[in-house]
Amino acid sequence: MINLMEACCSQCKHTPATPCQRFVDCRKSGPFCHESKGCADSRKKLVNRVQVLSGSPVKQIIVCGGTGCSSSGSAKLAELLTEEIKKRELSNEVLVKRTSCHGFCENGPIVHVKPESIFYTKVKPGDVNEIVSSHLIEEKYVEGLMFHDPDSGHPYPHFSDIPFMHGRPGYY
Residues within the interface to ligand FES (CB under 6 A)? 64, 66-69, 101-105, 108, 110
Strands (E), the chain: 59-64, 94-99, 111-114, 118-120, 147-148, 155-156
Closer CB to ligand FES, 104 or 141, in the complex: 104
Sign of the Cα pseudo-torsion (82, 84, 89, 95, in order):
negative
Asked if residue 90 lies in contact with residue 136, where contact means CB atoms within 8 angstroms, the answer is yes
By beta carbon distance, the residue nearest ligand FES is 66
Closer CB to ligand FES, 57 or 68, in the complex: 68
Closer CB to ligand FES, 103 or 155, in the complex: 103
Radius of gyration of the chain (CA): 19
Sign of the Cα pseudo-torsion (15, 29, 112, 130, in order):
negative
Closer CB to ligand FES, 8 or 128, in the complex: 128
Closest distance to ligand FES from the beta carbon of 22 (Å):
39
Closest distance to ligand FES from the beta carbon of 16 (Å):
46
Closest distance to ligand FES from the beta carbon of 98 (Å):
10
